Amino acid sequence: MATEKSEKQQPKASKPKAEPKGSERRVGPVIGIDLGGTNMQVGIVGPDDKLLARAKRKTKAEEGLNAILDRIVQAIEECRRESKVRLTDLAGLGIGAPGAVDPHEGVVLEAVNLRWNDVPLAELLSDRLGIPCFVDNDVNAAIYGENQLGAGQQSDNVLGVWVGTGIGGGLILNRKLFYGHYLTAGEIGHMILFPNNPPGSRSLEHNCSRTAVVERVQKLMRANRKSSILEMVGGDWDKVRSKTLAKAYQEGDELAIEVVDDAADMLGVAIGSIVTLLSLERVVLGGGLTEAMGQPFVDRVQKQTRRFAFPDRCKRVQVVASELEDDAGLMGAAMIARDRISG
Amino acid sequence: MATEKSEKQQPKASKPKAEPKGSERRVGPVIGIDLGGTNMQVGIVGPDDKLLARAKRKTKAEEGLNAILDRIVQAIEECRRESKVRLTDLAGLGIGAPGAVDPHEGVVLEAVNLRWNDVPLAELLSDRLGIPCFVDNDVNAAIYGENQLGAGQQSDNVLGVWVGTGIGGGLILNRKLFYGHYLTAGEIGHMILFPNNPPGSRSLEHNCSRTAVVERVQKLMRANRKSSILEMVGGDWDKVRSKTLAKAYQEGDELAIEVVDDAADMLGVAIGSIVTLLSLERVVLGGGLTEAMGQPFVDRVQKQTRRFAFPDRCKRVQVVASELEDDAGLMGAAMIARDRISG
């Protein structure tokens, strides 16, 4: 596969690469990290793709960069103790960060949740750990993980859509993560769904994220729409969470079904357009809202996606739920590190 | 560049490839063909990218496949006489066809305008001419031509949007034409722009093609909207063509400006979403409507594209007019043939 990657495409490690050990083509254990605005998930992944250990920490972005790096190193130590993997046995580290990332230079260009701009994360981690470190966008890492080990089934052309607080996306085209000219490809949450809506209500994220769905339910309850949700939250609509909504949805609550199904339909329209544009064979849905709503939600998105996909042959596209769920990000980050090390 | 192309990506010739002549890396003259539903444009392109000769024929799809092949061969003969290029000197042929194409096998899968299904066009032409022949989609050929020789400026990631009877698209990603899993990537005319509109009025093509724009002008004139267009067509609105519309637009006719600017704005919304998704550096606009309306139309599309592109760095995207115009398709088809031959 090495011949397929151009100089520009092939992201580089911030430190000298680990040499392959003689005829042994497999790479040693790698660290995978999913760095979120609220929590970080850290794991050590063995050469057989098994998660040997995992640790979780609060991100606490408000404490600043060094405090975050300290907590990453602590979480790695915890994983090393649990798995008995020595630091010298670790082949490298991959980390997915929320926001725009330069994977070639290992720099987080802009991460609003973390209040970061132009942070050379790969270099900083490599200085602390002495192993090659690689950075990518968090949803890129998740879809890479799914495509290697989960619902992506090693498809050539696959879109990942993570529906949570916002909506993130990642693209694998011709079997590789696609970054685009400005390295920001996959930002599907900011695609325009309703051009004629007022500002703040035009994009996919504005209409179909967990945030948007919960707000719509609250708004309709305030306008006196009846729903079992109101009872579940003891009359306090500010307490509506996606779990409440999921329970109501599964129990047949009319309002929950109307709002969630509408979001699924709108998601399907947007995904259908992307399938038309890119002739994709597979779409993987992940994120908090997808996990809470489950298979009926995914099925509905697939139905609508196929309705709008063009031409007919694209209607064979599969829309499936994430299989790795919470582990997608860290497993994918680990796979990215491993694949970059083994070139 | 050869190392960048995987086996699957690299389309194959239907006949043995021309051998490179010793140390001479340049490929001899190639034929380029733009096969449309109404007309075909045929040219011979020299190794220095110069168009040595060109010929035009009616396609006359209704006369069937063999009659079309006959006219292609006649047009090639005319070009050969004009340019004095011998058949044995021709290195190969590239042809862009309207519809879904398998460029690897050289087969036109479905071309509605030509009433073709699964036509092995590369093989049929190769049998007649005895040179390697390659087939691609017509807009793919046009954007490939623009990117090699025209407005694309050899960008890594560029979208071509051809606005005419319908709206066609082509994508160059990581410096190569992108086909996708079902080989139909780029069908942007069928992306959904207004999900809540009635069927037949939801897609980009339904709203922004020349057909849609002309129909809207006719409809508004029937509803008694005043316009200088009515005078231009002698009171017969069925005679409105894009040239009429362009004249009215350039002369400041209120109706023409309203309808054309609205189409430009809607095009810009859709292109902005695609720039967001793919982080593109450049978009080339071509086709009949773009050529008729000229630079003010292109500028307006760029303004709206930048407005909706996300994140901020993507707002640097350039939206430019085709430079090769009518020759984009045949020049691009010739470039495709040449690049595939020299592999």
Taking the CA atoms of B267, B272, B336 and B122 in sequence, report the sign of the dihedral they define.
Answer: negative
Q: What was the ipTM of the complex prediction?
A: 0.91
Report yes or no: B183 at the A interface, CB cutoff 8 Å.
Answer: yes
User: Could you report the per-residue pLDDT of A146-197, keeping only the tens digit for each?
Assistant: 999 999 889 999 999 999 999 999 999 999 999 999 999 999 999 999 999 9
**pLDDT band, very low/low/confident/very high, at A231 (cuts 50, 70, 90):** very high
Q: Give the percent of chain B with pLDDT over 90.
A: 87
Asked if omega into A199 is within 30° of 0 (cis), the reply is no
Secondary structure, 3-state, B140-190: HHHHHHHHHHCCCCCCCCEEEEEECCCEEEEEEECCEECCCCCCCCCCHHH
**Residue B39 scores a pLDDT above 70:** yes
- Contacts with A156 from chain B: Cβ below 8 Å: 8, 181
Contact A192 B266 (CB under 8 A): no
User: Could you report the per-residue pLDDT of B160-202, keeping only the tens digit for each?
Assistant: 999 999 999 999 999 999 999 999 999 999 999 999 999 999 9
Residue with the bigger pLDDT between B259 and B25: it is B259
Would you say B163 and B208 are in contact if contact means Cβ atoms under 8 Å apart? yes
Would you say B54 and B79 are in contact if contact means Cβ atoms under 8 Å apart? yes
Question: CB-hemisphere CA count at 13 Å for A18?
Answer: 28
**Residue A17 scores a pLDDT above 80:** no
For tokens 């046009």, the residue is: B142
Name the burial class of residue A148, with classes exposed (0-12), middle (13-18) and buried (19+) by CB atoms within 10 angstroms of its CB.
buried
User: Could you report the per-residue pLDDT of B312-328, keeping only the tens digit for each?
Assistant: 999 999 999 999 999 99
- Contacts with A137 from chain B: Cβ below 8 Å: none
Q: Which of A32, A28, A29 is nearest to A329 (CA)?
A: A32
Contact B313 A184 (CB under 8 A): yes
| Residue A232, H or E segment | helix A228-232
Q: How far is C-alpha B57 from the geometric centre of its chain's CA atoms? A: 18
Would you say A99 and A168 are in contact if contact means Cβ atoms under 8 Å apart? no
Instruction: Tell me what pLDDT residue B323 has.
Output: 97
Structure tokens at B206: 């339904």
Residue of A173, A279, A283, A306 to mutate when probing chain B, most B C-beta within 10 A: A279
Give chain A's radius of gyration (CA, Å).
Answer: 21
Distance CA A203, CA B325 (A): 34
**Residue A24 scores a pLDDT above 60:** no
pTM of the model: 0.91
Distance from CA of B184 to the nearest CA of A (A): 6
Q: Least CA distance to A180: which residue of chain B?
A: B279
Q: How far is C-alpha B74 from the geometric centre of its chain's CA atoms? A: 23
- Contacts with B278 from chain A: Cβ below 8 Å: 171, 178, 180, 185
Distance from CA of B90 to the nearest CA of A (A): 30
- Contacts with A185 from chain B: Cβ below 8 Å: 277-279
Report yes or no: B16 at the A interface, CB cutoff 8 Å.
Answer: no
Would you say A160 and A189 are in contact if contact means Cβ atoms under 8 Å apart? no
- Selecting from B8, B182, B196 the residue whose C-beta is nearest the C-beta of A279 gives B182
What residues contact residue B237 under an 8 Å CB cut-off, 6+ apart?
B217, B218, B221, B222, B229, B230
Distance CA B120, CA B105 (A): 8
Buried b (16+ CB within 10 A) or exposed e, B145-175: bbbbbbbbbebbbbbbbbbbbbbbbbbbbbb
Distance from CA of A281 to the nearest CA of B (A): 6
User: Could you report the per-residue pLDDT of A90-138, keeping only the tens digit for each?
Assistant: 999 999 999 999 999 999 998 988 999 999 999 999 999 999 999 999 9
**Residue A73 scores a pLDDT above 70:** yes
**pLDDT band, very low/low/confident/very high, at B1 (cuts 50, 70, 90):** very low
